[in-house]
Structure 1
Amino acid sequence: MTTVSGTETDARGAAELLEQATSVTVVCHVNPDADALGSALALGTALRRRGTPVQVAFADPAETPESLRTLPGGDLLVAPGEVSHEVDVLVVVDCGSAGRMGALRDRMSGAREVLVVDHHVSNARFGSINLVDGAAESTTVLVCEVLDAWGVPLDRDLAHCLYAGLVTDTASFRWARPATHELAARLLATGIDPVDVSRPLMDTHPFGWLGMLASVLGSAGLHREAAGGLGLAHAVVRCSDREGMRAEETESVVDLVRTASEAEVAAVLKEGPPRQWSVSLRAKSVVDVSAVAALLGGGGHRRSAGYTARGSSEDVLAALRTALG
């Protein structure tokens, strides 16, 4: 296939590229979630079975998040410092921009081709070849299409990785098309147990998480006039709240805030270094939070997006309300 810089491709084109690759590195974004790591490990597993030398990696954190350690193929993961500087094909999964690769961004320069596989509407098409579909519910949906085009049969290990991304990025199939349910049925037909896949991803937290929620949700706020009168519910997670908590516990807060019936939009501000914040946004149906996040330097999906900001929590909330209109 032709590999002109910035080429758009489909699943078959991506499969042809991987079939011809002499070595592959698969990189997902920093602080990977189930969709990112599930996509990377599914591709890595398929490549290894084909006899292709392959590495899978993410730049940060230093260890795989605990909730993702049940994903098959974890032995493919290598530390960032061990990732080859030169590779035939670098595959970047679930990253809307090169910056999301963190310290592994520099590995792009040593790759003959960079294949981006992603479902973020805001994707910057930063690869030499891009398989991007903003209508896909998860990146694992696109990876499954590549595996199908490649003729890779689905088994329990591959299905586990793919289902993990599918169930989390659709919020347990609340945001899913009929075809997505059909894919889920196909994955379940391999023999995976949906409860066993989902429980460590969404339903398992340490007891201390309950205390964190009591503190954070107790100070939640509601701005009924925000977003054109559709409402904004928000909460702030400070460093003191996060002490002893995993990233999984912090990330779970926004899905509780979004249940407020008076608000179309939910936002959770997570404190990092002094006066720096990671902001998670969720919308129920009307507001496109990816567009809001883009205005503030971030990106994401129509109903799920995020960005980083500096200043006091009051400053960050004020800027968000302005962006919401």
Structure 2
Amino acid sequence: MIEGIIEEIRTNGTFLVTTHENPDGDAVGSSLALAGYLRKLGKDVTIHFCDPVPDLYTFLPMSDEVVQDIPDNDFDVCFVLDVGEFRRAGKEIGNCRRIKKFINIDHHLTSDYFGCINYIDPKAAATGVLIHRIIKGAGDAVDYDTALCIYTAIITDTGSFRYSNANPEAFAIAGELVSTGINTWNIAEKLYESQPRQRLELLALALSTMTVSARGDYASITVTLDMYEKTGASAELTDGFVNYPRSIRGVEVSVFFREINPGLFKIGFRSKGKIDVSSIAAAFGGGGHRNAAGATMSGSLDEIKGKLFSHLEETL
């Protein structure tokens, strides 16, 4: 699989790199790492996200080169990273007829197989790990800028190496990346110690909605559109909110209800490990990993909560 990707890189000249909507640290980090690597090889590279880069990750090299509109030129290869489902790359990618072939690189258990090459490894801690494997498989060194991006991808998707996906490979790669000279405290400060005031104000409102099941085995919080209006916060500032209910002693599954349009909610699921939340998300048209998954549902908040909580009662 890696050899096939390296051959596509070697024999083609124009590349488009993209990822999923509302990109997280792994999506941004792995995309920028691959784009930077391709550019250093002399390739013509465009980075496209259907949503802007969250402010949290704008310290990464090339983050200011990400575009929301695909240029009119043709592309030999489009790398689609970390999407899980092809639709999450956005309609512009799905409708683009100037792309000759797609290569899918992902670590979601429920990933679609839509590429001419589908490099999918659910055991990888992050998609950034797969980008590292490709670079090393080509016999190339990882430079400072690429290390910064891959380290960010790994540290965010492993919850700072707290989650169960923080396997030996993730630690080994992180150690190698640190040897390039990246400053781990500087990265941590930008990711975790530089929050805008609006995020904490929004979190306070979200925590006030917290519910815990009668048995104490699942819990939820909610963010609605009016909360954004009250605080001046944006949706990107909700990253990590789903982990707060999971931190309660005894809770095995946390659920985060985030209103994205009137009557339309994005649902995030997190597990401590005993419960496979990807199967729960799949029951509602979503997917993801064993310990982290998501879905989108329409209806009133009460209706959606009723359906989900009933399903959780049966599952748990």
- TM class, shorter-length: over 0.9
Work out whether residues 216 and 237 of structure 1, in 8 Å CA contact, stay in contact via their aligned partners in 2. Answer: yes
Residue 311 of structure 1 deviates from its aligned partner by 1.2
Task: Summarize deviations over 1:146-165 as a string: whole Å, max 9, x none.
Answer: 11112221111000000111
TM-score of the aligned structures, taking structure 2 as reference length: 0.93
Between 82-91 and 126-135, report the one with greater CA deviation. Answer: 82-91
| C-alpha distance in structure 2 between counterparts of 1:232 and 1:263, whole Å | 5
Corresponding residue to 1:238 among 224, 241, 245? 224
User: For 1:160-309, what aligned pairs fall within 5 Å after superposition?
Assistant: 160-175=148-163, 176-225=166-215, 231-243=217-229, 244-309=232-297
Confirm or deny: 8 A CA contact 1:42 1:73 kept in the other structure: no
Q: Distance in 2 between matches of 1:120 and 1:103?
A: 20
Shift of 1:108: 5.3
C-alpha separation in 1, matches of 2:111 and 2:294: 13
* Offset at residue 79 of structure 1 (A): 3.3
Over the residues paired in the alignment, what is the CA RMSD in angstroms? 1.6
- Could you list the runs of 5+ residues in structure 2 that have no partner in the other structure? none
Seen in structure 2, the aligned counterparts of structure 1 residues 41 and 300 have a Cα distance that, compared at 3 Å, is same
1:1-325 superposed matches below 5 A:
10-60=1-51, 63-80=52-69, 82-84=70-72, 86-106=74-94, 109-175=97-163, 176-225=166-215, 231-243=217-229, 244-324=232-312, 325=314
In structure 2, distance between residues paired with 1:109 and 1:129: 18
Q: Would you say the 8 A contact 2:36–2:146 is kept in 1?
A: yes
String of CA shifts for 1:255-299, please: whole Å, max 9, x gaps: 222101131000110112111101111000100111110111111
**Counterpart code for 2:7:** E
CA distance in structure 2 between the aligned counterparts of 1:316 and 1:85, rounded to whole angstroms: 43
Q: Single out whichever of 160-169 and 26-35 deviates more from structure 2.
A: 26-35
In the superposition, the TM-score normalised over structure 1's length comes to: 0.90
1:69-128: per-residue Cα shift (whole Å, max 9, x none)?
A: 001122442332x43452111110111111101133235543222100000000011112
Determine helix, strand or coil for the equivalent of 1:24: strand
Which stretches in structure 1 are left out of the alignment for 5+ residues? 1-9
Work out the number of aligned pairs and report it: 309
Q: Secondary structure at the match of 1:305?
A: strand
Give the superposition deviation at 1:246: 3.0
- For residues 223 and 36 of structure 2, what CA distance do their matches in structure 1 show? 37
